[in-house]
Amino acid sequence: MTYESEKKGAAPEKPVDPNNPPALLAFMMTRWKPQAQRLPPPHPHAPSFARRRAAVSALFPGETLVIPTGHEKVRANDTYYRFRAGSDFFYLTGNLEPDCVLVLTPRHGQAGHDSHLFVEPNPGRASETFYTDRKKGELWVGPRLGVDQSRARYGVDFAHGLPDLKAFLEKHPVARVLRGLSSEADVLVPSRDEGKPDTAFGEALSELRLFKDALEVAELKKVIASTRRGFEDVIRALGTARSEREVEGHFNLRARSEGNDVGYGTIAASGENACILHWTRNDARLRKKDLLLLDAGVEGHALYTADITRTLPISGKFSAVQREIYELVWQAQQAALAAVRPGNDFMEPNKRAQRVMAEGLFRMGILPMPVEEALEDEHLFHKRYSLHNVSHMLGLDVHDCAKARQEVYRHGKLKPGMVLTVEPGLYFQLDDLTVPRKYRGIGIRIEDDVLVTETGCVNLSKAIPSEASAVEKWMREVRKRK
């Protein structure tokens, strides 16, 4: 079975059109302007990718390592979702093309690994596939770099065509694979020891990505700035927008015009929909009296994503009841931000925020027991209203480094270079009889993206107003610039 037909999610039909008459194919192959043979310039961040590969190499001396990027996935019948490179693969190469595979092989007689990048060859007009191959042909999907061009662009030691991958891996049988991305790679390299080596490999990649270098922080700053502009697009539209779908459209336009895409499905939750944590249907009508919980992030061309939430009064001004809940959540966030310091447990910001919210819930008469009792592990009654913890790692993925070991991530310590979200929320369901009627249907979350430093933290999204009065002022100013 070919690499093409093994694609995860590939459509069943043959990719090459068999119905072209020979005369047409002969005609298609002639009288094309010769293509330039110049090699592309090196990727500007190629030295960073090489350093990351060296770090992976040092963790697994003497072992062959296989990192696929993944494949296009079918959306419906014979149409595909827009491809997005696998995060670990991109982290190590900078390559955005589908189907590619990075293989690191031990150097003979030396420390370290050689990097081998397997890519789709680009024969140009020398092969009829540029016209007949509906999935990879240039006239159908555009050009790909090709083998020599990819080696020059990404600064790898060697580049090869994807058809050579099977034979190459047969010569390097002892390997760890980042599994679940390529059925071809998964089949070609048998799993060992019940998959434990592969699991450890995925964990190691995630744990390397826990610490952002200067390049990554710069990319995060870019997408956060772009996300602010997307939020302002929404604020300008709120005067006339009729539905959550319009909100989503305004933000997503910014994401596509300034970046690669949105980093995740935009949550544009108005009114009681804000009490649904991952509301992405975005199909409700907007009402002036309601709040809009906008949880959205631009993913940049380098694939790093922002993850920001602001809860905005659609009218431009919080009601007294809305402000009461909003200010409680904001105070909880400030307590959590103060706990983002190197040496603190990863869960410490969550503990601080949850206590502030529990104290507020008790004052409001919502918690059915004193705060200390409610916070005990056997109760945790406050979570009926707060629902989630306040932090996750952020970077190439919105929930970054997800394969890292729990003792390093959730039960580990905060360290300089980590980037995490801080996002407390309170959600009072419309049918919750433990909540006074005036609060029901209110959902509020405030989320910022935070870099741990040597002495504390930097709120990378601080320029996006979050305190209640500052939000109202921001909305007024943005609407004046309309």
Q: Is 321 left (phi over 0), alpha (psi -120 to 50) or beta?
A: alpha
Task: Give percent of the chain with pLDDT exceeding 70.
Answer: 96
Within a domain: 10 = no
Residue 15 lies in a domain: no
Given the residues 88, 385, 392, 409, the one annotated as active site: 392
Choosing from 307, 400, 448, 472, the catalytic residue is 307
- Which residue in the list 295, 299, 449, 472 is annotated as catalytic? 295
Q: Residue 7 above 60 pLDDT?
A: no
The yes-or-no answer on residue 445 being catalytic is yes
Choice among 107, 134, 172, 388 that is catalytic: 388
- Are residues 383 and 360 part of one domain? yes
Task: Check if 439 is active-site.
Answer: no
Catalytic annotation on 116? no
Domain count, the chain: 2
Q: Is 421 contained in some domain?
A: yes
Task: Let me know if 250 is a catalytic residue.
Answer: no
The one catalytic residue among 17, 51, 75, 78: 78
- Looking up residue 323, the CATH number of its domain turns out to be 3.90.230.10
247 and 384 assigned to the same domain = yes
204 and 153, same structural domain?
Answer: yes
Give a yes or no: residue 322 inside a domain: yes
- How many residues does the structure list for the chain? 482
- Give this prediction's pTM: 0.94
What is the CATH number for 49?
3.40.350.10
Q: Which whole-number Å values give the CA distances from 377 to 383, 388, 442, in the listed order?
A: 11, 15, 26
Please check whether residues 356 and 466 belong to one and the same domain.
yes
Mean pLDDT, the chain, whole residue set: 94
User: What range defines the domain where residue 146 resides?
Assistant: 22-208
**Is residue 14 situated within a structural domain?**
no
One domain for residues 293 and 422: yes
Distance CA 373, CA 358 (A): 10
d(C-alpha 132, C-alpha 126), whole Å: 13
Q: Could you tell me if 167 and 306 lie in one domain?
A: no
Catalytic residue among 447, 448, 449, 472: 447
Domain final residue, candidates 186, 208, 230: 208
For 362, list phi and psi in degrees, rounded to 5: -70, -45
Based on the residue annotation, tell me whether 78 is a catalytic residue of this protein.
Answer: yes
Asked, for residue 13, whether it belongs to a domain, the answer is no
d(CA 455, CA 338) in angstroms, rounded, equals 11
Determine, yes or no, domain membership for 8.
no
Which among 133, 94, 168 is positioned nearest to 10, based on CA atoms?
133
176 with 231, same domain: the answer is no
Known active-site residue 216: no
pLDDT at position 35 is 81
Q: Is 423 an annotated catalytic residue?
A: yes
Average pLDDT over residues 156-163: 98
- One domain, residues 153 and 240: no
Domain boundary among 157, 188, 208: 208
- Told to judge if 427 belongs to the known catalytic residues of this protein, a careful annotator would answer yes
Q: Determine which one of 151, 445, 448, 472 is catalytic.
A: 445
pLDDT score for 36: 78
- 110 lies in the same domain as 249: no
Contact (CB, 8 A) for 40 and 119 = no
Spot the catalytic one: 242, 278, 285, 301: 278
In terms of domains, do 268 and 154 share one?
no
Q: Per-residue pLDDT tens for 318-365?
A: 999 999 999 999 999 999 999 999 999 999 999 999 999 999 999 999
* Same domain assignment for residues 197 and 246: no
Q: Are residues 221 and 190 in the same domain?
A: no
Q: Which among 208, 233, 248 is the end of a domain?
A: 208
Residue 2 in domain: no
